[in-house]
Amino acid sequence: MKIALIGYGKMGKAIEAVALQKGHQVVLKIDVSNAAEFTQANADKADVAIEFTGPHSAVKNILQCIEYGLPVVSGSTGWLEQWAQVEAACAAKNGTVVYSSNYSIGVNLFFEINKQLAKLMDPYPDYNVSMTEIHHTEKKDAPSGTAISLAEQILENLGRKHKWTNDAASNPNEISIRSERVDPAPGTHTVCYSSAIDTIEITHTAHTRQGFAAGAVMAAEFASNKKGIFNMKDVLGL
Catalytic member of 10, 29, 135, 227: 135
Contacts of 45 (CB under 8 A, 6+ apart): 2, 4, 27, 28
Q: What is the pLDDT of residue 140?
A: 74
Q: What is the pLDDT of residue 79?
A: 92
Three-state SS at 183: coil
Q: What is the pLDDT of residue 42?
A: 97
List the chain domain ranges: 2-103+210-236, 105-205
Contacts of 140 (CB under 8 A, 6+ apart): 54, 55, 78
Q: What is the CATH number of domain 105-205?
A: 3.30.360.10
Three-state SS at 225: coil
- Whether 207 is a known active-site residue: answer no
Rounded alpha-carbon distances, angstroms, from residue 101 to 31, 56, 143, 178, 186: 20, 15, 12, 18, 16
Q: What is the pLDDT of residue 138?
A: 82
- To the question of domain 2-103+210-236 being in CATH 3.30.200.20, the answer is no
- Whether 10 is a known active-site residue: answer no
Catalytic member of 24, 139, 161, 204: 139
Q: What is the pLDDT along the chain (238 residues), one digit of tens a residue?
A: 999 999 999 899 999 999 999 999 999 999 999 999 999 999 999 999 999 998 999 999 999 999 999 999 999 988 999 999 999 999 999 999 999 988 999 999 999 999 999 999 999 999 999 999 999 888 878 899 899 999 999 999 999 999 999 999 989 999 999 999 999 888 899 999 999 999 999 999 998 888 999 999 999 999 999 999 999 999 999 8
Q: What is the pTM of this model?
A: 0.80
